[in-house]
Structure 1
Amino acid sequence: MLWAVFTLIAAAAQTARNAMQRELTATLGTVGATHVRFLFGFPFALFVFLPGVMFFAGQALPNPPAIFWPWVVAGAVTQIAATATMLSVMGERSFVVAYAYIKTEPVQVALFGLVVLGDRLTLLTTAAIVIATIGVIVISLKPGAGQVSTTRSTVIGIVSGALFAISAVGYRGAILSLHLPHFVMAATFTLAVGLVMQAVMLTAYLVLREPKVLRDIAAAWKPSLFAGFMGAFASEFWFLAFAIATAANVRTLGLVEVLFALGVTRFIFRQPTTTRELAGVVLVVVGVVLLVWAY
């Protein structure tokens, strides 16, 4: 059950990072706020986490096989797109409702993982995924919202969830392709490579297309540094969980983010919580409990 501990830590850290990125969107824009998690996150992965694993675990850097690179590139590119679409939704809807759209991801992860990686699911695990996902859909319902705005947000949110699903499967595929006896090294090495790729790709894009955003990021370096650290910290524990459990199980348990997001929405952003949202939370909790029990 170590994967469950890793997932809970990752979910809490990711909620903090997303809240910070949501605030940065107002000053840096969607692309700028997206870039913060990679630009300020990769130094922690490359110069703190990876050397720490090498030192304390006595592990040398791996020599990745050729198949590692398509997996990690797929994970890195789709995660950039997923983060950008996620922040776009958060700019239009409440923090917790945006989470609800995006967290249709576990069902998509289960399908992608089954087809691409051959990750098998038991009947009870499948039921847990479905119940928890229904919970986030219930949370996302918002009677009285404008139909065009609601439909647009829903579509973008579900696309974001699909991109996160592909990213999770890609990164798990990269970790498994290393065939390392020490899962911590496999996870941390994959994280460092992925974050460096993402930082380079987005920096190059901004230099060519929106250099002002880079200057704005530099001016907002203090909150950006915190968001980058929390992003790298969260990703480290997501990757550790991916190394020892299926992506579907990890992402379903990760739905506890919705509970954390509800707390952020209520106590930080001062947005009210409806009875419908609370009912959805109950379903999410039931699904998560079933998942842990099935495992």
Structure 2
Amino acid sequence: MIAPIWLPAALIGGALQAWRTAVQRRVSRTLSINAAGLVRYLYGLPVAVLLVIAYEAVFARTPFPALGVWFVPFCLGGGLAQIIATNLLLMAFGERNFVVGTAYSKTEAVQSALLSVFLLGDHLSLPTWVGIGFGVAGVMVLSTGGKRMAAGAFLRALGQPAARYGIASGFMFALTTIGIRAATQAVATPDHIRAALIVLATTVAAQTVAQGAYLLLRERDQVVRVFSEWRVAGQVGLMSSVASACWFTGFASAPVALVRIVGQIEVAFTMAFAHFYLGEKTSRSEILGLILVATGVVFALVGSL
């Protein structure tokens, strides 16, 4: 059964994620890729824990729910996939501009749809698949960076580093959604928000330990910088945890493909942040891509009715 909360959760999650990614790019200019990724988890962990405590204190009406035997493995798998996906996304940013790097990663929507069908047994309606098609077309237009490209040139461009990193990032983000969806199903509660917050706190804690250990072993000089950038990093952590809480709630209450398709509206917020926050220009091609993405979202919403 699809709970109606998935829609506002996906929209709010998309907006916050675009904002967080824009701020994180500022951090990535002074930190390594792994250090920039760590700030999401290190500074987001206290927020995630506080969200669980607050929700349990105010809204929980039953004892803390039992956790299934696969809860921890799914949290660990989803968390590791997200770490890899985030690093790949930051690497894509290093090859092309902010909007294009994000656009390539948005192939995650179609990858999530295919994986959810084969791995989770989700069933998607025809309008939803049409929406996926429009969404993919939109992000592919965005991926040209406003350049006029013939079909052959466009296909050759997919072999460039930014495209490879972006598409690989999308695949790992798709695996993340599968892991998180499965983890929320392993929490013995009908409350989707409660399950999502428990999964969030567990996953972020594991990510903090994993990414932090890597930095201590391989990039120890970056550890001091992670703490010295606390003003901006704190913003990244706050928005990251709140955005993830929204995403996880969506995954717990609806098919992951549906949540991610609607979540592609994040591209609109990304373009806005790129234009007003990072000072990047928006081309006609990018506007066309945005229209296609928005059309895809509309079809997905129709398919969910």
**TM-score, with length taken from structure 1:** 0.96
Q: Deviations over 1:121-141 (max 9, x none)?
A: 111111111111111111111
Q: After superposition, where does 1:65-80 map in structure 2 within 5 Å? A: 65-80=68-83
Q: Does 1:245 align with 2:248?
A: no
* 1:158 paired residue number: 167
CA contact (8 A) 1:22 1:91 kept: no
* 1:126 paired residue number: 129
CA contact (8 A) 2:95 2:161 kept: no
Q: Deviations over 1:179-198 (max 9, x none)?
A: 31221211110000000000
* 1:56 paired residue number: 58
* 1:291 paired residue number: 300
**TM-score, with length taken from structure 2:** 0.93
Residues 118, 179 of structure 1: CA spacing in aligned structure 2 closer, same or farther, 3 A cutoff? farther
- Which stretch of the first structure deviates more once superposed, 265-274 or 188-197? 265-274
* 1:88 paired residue number: 91
What's the CA shift for 1:62?
Answer: 2.5
Which residue identity is paired with 1:240? T
SS in 1 for 2:31: helix
* 1:141 paired residue number: 144
Q: Deviations over 1:164-221 (max 9, x none)?
A: 0000111001001223122121111000000000001111111111111110011111
Q: Which runs of 4+ in 1 moved over 3 A?
A: 142-150
Question: Equivalents in 2 of 1:187, 1:75: separation in Å?
Answer: 13
CA contact (8 A) 1:94 1:265 kept: no
* 1:282 paired residue number: 291
Residues 111, 148 of structure 1: CA spacing in aligned structure 2 closer, same or farther, 3 A cutoff? closer
* 1:116 paired residue number: 119
CA contact (8 A) 1:249 1:291 kept: yes
What's the CA shift for 1:2?
Answer: 2.1
Which residue identity is paired with 2:180? Y
Question: Equivalents in 2 of 1:152, 1:115: separation in Å?
Answer: 29
Q: Identical aligned pairs, as a percentage?
A: 34
Question: Equivalents in 1 of 2:128, 2:188: separation in Å?
Answer: 26
Give RMSD over aligned pairs.
1.6
Number of aligned positions between the proteins: 294
Unaligned runs of 5+ in 2: none
Whose helix fraction is larger, Structure 1's or Structure 2's? Answer: 1
Q: Does 1:170 align with 2:173?
A: no
What's the CA shift for 1:150?
Answer: 6.7
